[in-house]
Amino acid sequence: MTDPVERGDAAYSPLATAIKRLLDETQFYDRSSWAYFCSTREEKLVNWITDKAVPRGDQLRMVVNILQRRGGAAATDGLEAFDALRDLPGSEISPVWMPEFGNTLADYLKPISLGELGRELRAMPFARQIAYMRG
């Protein structure tokens, strides 16, 4: 499957570009293996790197954590580019950023308990709850 980023069809957001670097340029896994690792489909990965969706926070944390621990030198540049986005406003790093994600990528990546998740979800309209949970 050729995704638009590989074809160079458009310029994508800083977050989509950083995620693509983590998934592809580190050569840690191929797309199929990343999809399996993140418990998702390859099509979802393409959505992440083409500004159609933001991965769930737990999925992003998993990718970053494994690359920090086992990615070696090949992961350094990608991780640095990703880390540079952590404190920027979410609306500046992705066109599909939702207010429920928090103000910054750092906010989004903070692990939360199930109780906190429940409280956050209860405050959202039902359609937003579904979108949030689908990532």
CA distance 77 to 83: 10
pLDDT tens for residues 1-42?
434 445 454 689 999 999 999 999 999 999 999 999 999 999
Tell me if the domain spanning 4-110 has CATH number 1.10.260. Answer: yes
> Is the pLDDT reported for residue 135 higher than 80?
no
> What Cα–Cα distance (Å) separates residue 14 from each residue in 6, 19, 39, 97, 109?
16, 9, 24, 12, 16
CA distance 128 to 87: 24
* ∠ CA 128-130-134, rounded to 5°: 115
> Is the pLDDT reported for residue 63 higher than 90?
yes
Cβ 105 vs Cβ 93: under 8 Å: yes
> What are the structural domain ranges in the chain?
4-110
Strand ranges (DSSP E) for the chain? none
pLDDT of 122 = 82
pLDDT tens for residues 68-121?
999 999 999 999 999 999 999 999 999 999 988 899 999 999 877 777 778 778
What is the value of pTM for the model shown? 0.78
pLDDT of 120 = 74
